[in-house]
Structure 1
């Protein structure tokens, strides 16, 4: 009996020691920490749901001091648990994401010049370190599951620890599922990572060979340059220092130029770097000569965009002054404009024939109208004339419309053709380009407004012809009278003593 008792004591001690060792081994395992946090979140969340249910039930009861005290107590407890739930919310859906998936992996770099080789090597080191991390995490999970299986086996022998045994079995089931996911993710990631590393290594090898060829070529050119200078110096006149200086200068310039060309052609695909270098060099000049640089960029926009070209008639407003003329030249800094006789010069400037220089940078800050863009040589022009109220305005509208059609028929057809061609380039709806005539009531009669297509370069001439013929046609009609401001003078003897006008019949 004594022997059996000693054996039981020994067995219990061994059992306790094994459990203690297992607990010590798994205590700081990151997977067990994540699991405990996940489990703790579920407990807290369920408790929070139960509290919400109890609070709702109490609120439905008749309010009394006892009910209010219970509500107050439950509410405080609910807010405390709610804060705990917010802290552990990251473990709600994917508790093991940080241990399974790779973190902070950059996009695969494109090695296009020697300076990017270091970024490629850094990328490879980063990928390898990330693979090591997830593999270490996987090994930790595997060791944890091994210890948990041993722990479950030990607990199964002790009927007093059935609940702990059940909890351990649930933990094994949960972590075993995480292990399968982790294993699958590692396999997929390693395959993709190996392909990316192979590609980066090939780019590094290719760029290293290119750099080696360039260094060898530059070295050969430098040696040839040195030998050439040495031989030329031997045959140059020893007392002529200028010849030696010029020879050195010419060879040095040629040598540097060839080297620069080699580098440019070797890395011409990296336009961004060339632009960056040019940008740094010209940064100071760009600040000091802002308007010149903006004019140069304006030239690129004008020429590249095709919005304005030589021969176009344009309208520019600058400092409340309007200029209309024909483009006779577009240089890198300015547009040269010849000011023709137009409605603007007739109405406002009263000057024409000037040569106007417009800085190209105005294309970014000023509204510029083009009267002849994309072969559009016509514009809408209008004439207004007022007739009296007792005139036959319908006849006047018909006469004006016929005259406008007579003089603008060719321009109307031209406009229709050009608009059809512009539909290929712009979103233009079908527009009526036939002459239009409108009538409006004004204080001194009925205003007739005639609109028609006309040559953008000869608006004044056609306007003058149509205006003259309309006036002549209206004067021929007995029932159409042109309205204009008039003054009636009444002689003094026509007034009566009380100020009324004498009615003579």
Structure 2
């Protein structure tokens, strides 16, 4: 068919080149078929004219060549504009999209009939195109009849109209083929729709019915449990268990109903698992973190830890590690005294927090002592060496018993990690202040984690009393 159309088109165009400027009688308002045919003739005529001009320009000289060159550019520009217009009947029929393959019929497709509606739309489009086609034929026949009745015969025009009619009649095969394909696909779709209605639809309705029954059953259970249980904590836990059971049972029912279609069941389970993962992301992360906390052995019950939440320090003893949260008892220490100004609260931290945040453990393994710090401001006029000796003597005497304890605890820690030996003697540093004309006296000392505030108080009093006895001026910023 396409070869035949190409042959007829080529023959017609060769004959009609001389009539390239007289195509008005081939056109009719708002008729795409005639407009496309006219575009095709004009494009071919311009092509031949451009080729002829190119040969003429090569032979021309002087002013004549310049004029011909300008004319060639003008005709080339016209051809570019014309090439943007449709010049093939195929381009018009391609807008009627049918599709080669049918989509799988699902419950949503059965209820909405999307493909059926699409076929109806395409059928209307095809009917409109077909109507335009017969209008074009009618117009060409009318023009040919008028041309043949004239006293002065225009044989070229009659021949061109006859060739146009032959071309259009041969193009009717395109319409017939498109109509046949659309009808075939529509019948195939209706057959698949009836097949789904008689085979798969009853099973889908049964599945939905069972799911609705389970849903109603669980809501009834929740209703009766809410009426009978008054303890809110117990009620909350039972509701949570019921929700988890509902989701698991629902997942099991869906798998059972789709067990015959393994791929569909696996895909469905994948979608459900993805939905559960997205909706319960934090809970799943907490459960994974719970395993990490339980078997990682970096935090255990009784440990004192420090974490930062929104840049605010939280410190306390671990009193419970559950699948979803770690519970802390806020203790009295330097942090709560200086920054928080309160203590004794119960703090709940989601387990997923411990996956991607820093945790400071005061009591890891058998290490139950930490370094604490006391600061004083000492004027430059004071004998720095004397101050250092006095503080060193006081701190050494006060922490001697804790130094031995810390050394023994450190040996246990050293067995687990690659660490150098340490001396837990007090560290005394006098550093010039960058702002004020004085020294900053840093007193680092080791102390049990649960006696930080008590020992700080005792050691501070001893240092202050000794400074007063020795008339050493000091102040605390």
With the shorter chain as reference, the TM-score category is: 0.3 to 0.5
